[in-house]
Structure 1
């Protein structure tokens, strides 16, 4: 994608990391027309059900359904088809699951032209020592593992990847201009990155090559979510 042609608002995905629909609906209502794109993860999906996704899509919002699928290919394909039927725009599959799982997801998404499959590389809370804990000791750095998995995702036909802001630049170099690079773990200067071990600012992530940034508590827990969202948008403006 042409990064220069994308409006700042279209780059920002607000994470609805809540354990109930009422709280999510309240934030969506308070953001109003400011925000066009929301992330729904496994906690909120389990608590609120698919009706929330349908509600957001009916309101004209785009939805990033962050399922982090890691199952046998047939089950992954079924989940991707269900996501497509709900009208979501992006869905995640674990690249650590290998080519078979990612290829199944990509094939299942073909019936839904608006649906993009993203390969999750290394979760933004993980460090090199975490990788070592699960037996991934060959890479000399977390970045090396991210790039390895990104190449695997690209080979499987994924439309892009999810990685930390710190890997956006190397990923853009590897994946080229057309790939989606979605970066959780962004925070404005002075804000806490929360559980993210490899954070960055929205501006730095996009300047490095990210197509989208995911923002969470800095917006959703703010006294004025719309004002906080505008600060992120301002940070992304040239």
Structure 2
């Protein structure tokens, strides 16, 4: 499919969420369902989005022992989401178990959901990495090393800041998927994100897909903002 702009559906009041989804009813949108929404609504939100013709990125960032992650992925694969993720920090055996679970749980003749790994959250900066996580390496080196491990584990790609995408492609190849959150327009507030870029910059850096949340969902006109950011993302201007 065309490189997607993924809308983070971080709207937890059902009435507000239904109004937002109504504005997208004539388009097939790639939607991200995160932890809070999934824990609140469960599989029914996935069913609703798929019924309405949307693609779904289930953003649960699984991180546990390999057996637990593998079993969880087997269950989640039956929902026929399009993409799902784990934390690369869980290690190679965990990522391989996640992949095996997705293969085992998908319905017959259905494609396996894409599996990507979180390298470092876009809320993490070098100071946090060093002082709180006790990782002394440069953040770019940590991200590229985790990305290489994800590829060796058979995964389709990673989640990272767009700023690390060129290095990831250098290490893992151009076909390795790079999904980049932390996308803002120049006029938007940064919020709790540290390593952010515009849609145009993400395109220049080579991101495969971008994730946009509050810039769209908190806009006065979410659909128009979506179209504007999608144009910037696709056309680079």
CA distance in 1, matches of 2:14, 2:114: 25
- When the two structures are aligned, how many residues end up with a matched partner? 229
Q: Which residue of the partner structure matches residue 173 of structure 2?
A: 176
Partner of 1:191: 188
Residue 233 of structure 2: aligned partner: 236
Does the Cα contact within 8 Å between 2:103 and 2:112 map onto a contact in 1?
no
Secondary structure of the equivalent of 2:78? helix
Q: How does 1:44-193 map to 2 (within 5 A)?
A: 44-111=37-104, 112=106, 113-132=111-130, 133-137=132-136, 139=137, 141-193=138-190
The counterpart of 1:226, out of the listed 198, 223, 228, is 223
| TM-aligned CA deviation for residue 122 of structure 1 | 0.2
Q: Note closer, same or farther for the CA distance 1:21–1:80 as it changes in structure 2 (3 Å cut).
A: farther
CA RMSD of aligned residues (A): 1.5
Are the equivalent residues in 2 in contact too, given 1:21–1:47 (CA < 8 A)? no
Q: Secondary structure at the match of 1:66?
A: strand
CA distance in 2, matches of 1:72, 1:180: 25
The answer to whether the 8 Å contact 1:20/1:47 transfers is: no
> Residue by residue, what CA displacement relative to the aligned partner does 1:181-216 show, whole Å, maximum 9, x if unpaired?
000001112212321110001121122111100000
Distance in structure 1 (CA, Å) of the matches to 2:195 and 2:77:
31
CA contact (8 A) 2:11 2:217 kept: no
CA distance in 1: counterparts of 2:14 and 2:93, whole angstroms: 34
Contact 1:185 1:199 survives alignment (8 Å): yes
What is the aligned partner in structure 2 of residue 206 from structure 1? Answer: 203
1: CA distance between counterparts of 2:51 and 2:77? 14
* 1:31–1:225 CA contact under 8 A, matched in 2: no
TM-score normalized with structure 1 length? 0.91
Rounded Cα–Cα distance in structure 1 between residues aligned with 2:99 and 2:200: 30
Regions of 4+ moved over 6 Å? none
| Whole-Å separation in 1 of the counterparts to 2:120 and 2:197 | 15
Per-residue CA deviations over 1:52-75 (Å, capped at 9, x if unaligned) read 011111112110000010011121
Q: CA deviation at 1:35?
A: 4.9
Supply the distance in 1 between the matched residues of 2:170 and 2:21 (Cα, whole angstroms). 35
Q: Are the aligned partners of 1:21 and 1:48 in contact in 2 as well (CA < 8 Å)?
A: no
